[in-house]
């Protein structure tokens, strides 16, 4: 019988909870008969103990809540909590403590399986359980609200009978999920948004959101800020790097160039920041410049982020269980290779872990190796196809089969040229619209029907029927993918 416990967060200022009451029903459906919740665990997120009881959970105190097989937390447990863990239990957290090394022996002795969700790889099939994406999106939304409140002015263009207010100029440094979220919200409010990121490949995505990409050399950021920083009213700084000290971008010299009344939104991590002056999880006023610094802006919207985090967690737990509701951690899966830090007290060897990841990516590359081959040697392939066409044409000519020569020519060259063209399309253009276009473009089905109707030759009819079957798959899958993608976007 599977049991699971939801622990109340003890970290100062933490308002979130790892599981909301409504999602307890989903846990019971996938085999968790007993769901225990620490008393007042969800109070700061807007959920009372009575809400959890209503959906079938059992409320326990802080000393008796640790008896389940699976323990759910957001932050890594403190020293006292670690001793309350049962042997052979599974601890699932968002992040890991800086003092993790000091606690390692306790976890090994208790044979704990430690899972850190923030280590989850960013791949499409894992999006439904990607907690960092959820947190970054909500954080971006809240960061916009905080900056607008402190800026205390209109964001978009406003026209009045007596005057006109120009749009606010917003600079965003760092175009991760947080930065893209902020870009989208500010642009929707009508601001002039400028984005800089060290990764130049993000340029198309920035432009697609309606913002302007600052295309400068990576070592020229300081020069750009020195010359242009006084043109911006709101500056959002999200140039973060996990497990590394943040690069210092906003020195006192740069801060002195920012015009009065401006707002800086600044992400910090373990007291590391891109800005030299910060007030941790608060507001600092420097020369009439307001500097807003938080470790996690999503913590200011606990109800919303708890709902998303809880749903991500449910999807992860579903992924962990097989059809018989047994917990399976398949280390052939890239997900578990990344998120499992300890398995039954045994530390995952980092060198082996990196080696496994490298092999997996290599295998993945092998799947698409033909794609790279075609793109790299397209000119040579065209020449080979031309020679093949000449030889096969001579064969058809010898046997007086003239009617197939033109069709063969069109088929061979459209295949290779079409393949090259499609694979040069940028990733950000692969939208639901493209899925729909793929389906509509299957108008070639009419050609197949005409071939079947007008020909009595068995070869023509056979090829047309095969093509008809493939085109039908393209039509239905195109609409199916479109529906699925739109559902994800609306949700």
**Interval 392-412: pLDDT, tens:** 767 766 665 555 666 666 666
Kindly state the average pLDDT of the residues 205-222: 84
> 21-30, 68-77, 175-184, 367-376: which has the minimum mean pLDDT?
367-376
Kindly state the average pLDDT of the residues 272-276: 77
Tokens of 278: 């910060």
Quote the pTM value.
Answer: 0.69
Mapped onto helix, strand or coil, the DSSP state of residue 209 is coil
Sheet holding 113-116, edge to edge: 58-60, 32-38, 2-6, 70-72, 90-93, 113-116, 340-343, 346-347
Kindly state the average pLDDT of the residues 141-150: 93
Q: What are φ and ψ of residue 71, in 5° steps?
A: -115, 125
What was the pLDDT predicted at 177? 84
Kindly state the average pLDDT of the residues 237-256: 75
Tokens of 61: 């105190």
CATH 3.40.50.720 fits 153-295, yes or no: yes
- 303, 147 Cβ separation under 8 angstroms: no
Tokens of 148: 């607008």
What was the pLDDT predicted at 301? 92
What was the pLDDT predicted at 372? 46
Give the number of C-alpha atoms closer than 13 A to the C-alpha of residue 420, restricted to the C-beta side: 15
pLDDT band at 489 (very low <50, low <70, confident <90, very high): low
What was the pLDDT predicted at 302? 93
Every domain of the chain and the residues it spans = 2-128+302-363, 153-295, 368-424, 429-491
Q: Is 50 exceeded by the pLDDT of residue 146?
A: yes
Number of H helices, E strands in the chain: 18, 18
User: What fold does the segment set 2-128+302-363 form as a domain?
Assistant: Rossmann fold (3.40.50)
What was the pLDDT predicted at 361? 33
What was the pLDDT predicted at 417? 61
* Beta-bridge mates of residue 286: 289
What was the pLDDT predicted at 334? 86
2-128+302-363 and 153-295, same CATH topology = yes
Q: Is 90 exceeded by the pLDDT of residue 435?
A: no
Mapped onto helix, strand or coil, the DSSP state of residue 35 is strand
Angle at 406 between CA 402 and CA 411, to 5 degrees: 130
What was the pLDDT predicted at 405? 60
Tokens of 46: 């807007």
* CA atoms of 409 and 342, how far apart (whole Å): 59
């Amino acid at each position: 019988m599977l049991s699971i416990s939801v622990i109340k967060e003890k970290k100062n200022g933490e308002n979130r909870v790892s599981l909301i009451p409504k999602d307890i029903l989903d846990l019971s459906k996938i085999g968790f008969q007993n769901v225990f919740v620490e008393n007042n665990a969800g109070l700061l997120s807007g959920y009372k103990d009575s809400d959890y009881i209503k959906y079938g959970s059992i409320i326990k105190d802080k000393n008796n809540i640790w008896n389940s097989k699976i323990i759910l937390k957001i932050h890594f447990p403190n020293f006292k909590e670690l001793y309350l863990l049962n042997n052979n239990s599974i601890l699932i957290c968002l992040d890991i403590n800086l003092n993790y090394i000091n606690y390692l022996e306790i976890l090994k002795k208790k044979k704990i399986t430690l899972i850190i969700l923030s280590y989850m790889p960013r791949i499409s099939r894992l999006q439904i359980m990607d907690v960092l994406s959820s947190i970054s999106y909500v954080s971006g939304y809240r960061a916009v609200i905080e900056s607008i409140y402190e800026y205390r002015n209109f964001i978009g263009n406003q026209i009045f009978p007596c005057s006109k207010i120009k749009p606010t100029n917003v600079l965003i440094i760092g175009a991760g999920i947080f930065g893209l979220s902020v870009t989208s919200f500010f642009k929707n409010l009508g601001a002039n948004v400028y984005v800089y990121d060290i990764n130049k490949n993000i340029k198309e995505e920035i432009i697609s959101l309606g913002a302007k990409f600052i295309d400068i050399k990576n070592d020229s950021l300081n020069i750009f800020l020195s010359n242009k920083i006084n043109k911006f009213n709101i500056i959002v700084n999200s140039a973060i790097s996990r497990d590394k000290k943040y690069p210092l971008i906003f020195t006192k010299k740069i801060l002195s160039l920012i015009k009065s009344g401006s707002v800086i939104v600044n992400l910090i991590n373990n007291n590391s920041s891109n800005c030299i002056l910060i007030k941790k999880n608060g507001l600092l006023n420097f020369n009439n410049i307001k500097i807003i610094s938080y470790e996690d802006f999503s913590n200011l919207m606990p109800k919303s982020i708890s709902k998303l985090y809880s749903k991500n967690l449910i999807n992860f737990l579903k992924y962990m269980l097989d059809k018989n509701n047994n917990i399976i951690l398949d280390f052939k899966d890239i997900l578990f290779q990344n998120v499992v830090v300890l398995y039954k007290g045994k530390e995952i060897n980092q060198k082996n872990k990196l080696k496994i990841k490298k092999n997996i990516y290599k295998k993945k590359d092998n799947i698409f190796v033909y794609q790279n081959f075609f793109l790299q040697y397209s000119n040579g392939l065209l020449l080979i196809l031309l020679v093949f066409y000449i030889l096969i044409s001579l064969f058809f000519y010898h046997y007086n089969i003239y009617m197939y020569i033109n069709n063969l020519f069109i088929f061979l060259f459209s295949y290779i040229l079409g393949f090259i063209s499609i694979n040069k399309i940028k990733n950000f253009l692969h939208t639901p619209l493209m899925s729909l276009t793929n389906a509509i473009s299957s108008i070639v089905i009419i050609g197949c029907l005409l071939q079947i109707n007008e020909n009595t030759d068995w070869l023509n009819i056979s090829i047309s029927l095969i093509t008809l079957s493939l085109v039908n798959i393209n039509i239905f899958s195109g609409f199916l993918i479109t529906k699925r993608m739109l559902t994800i976007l609306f949700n």
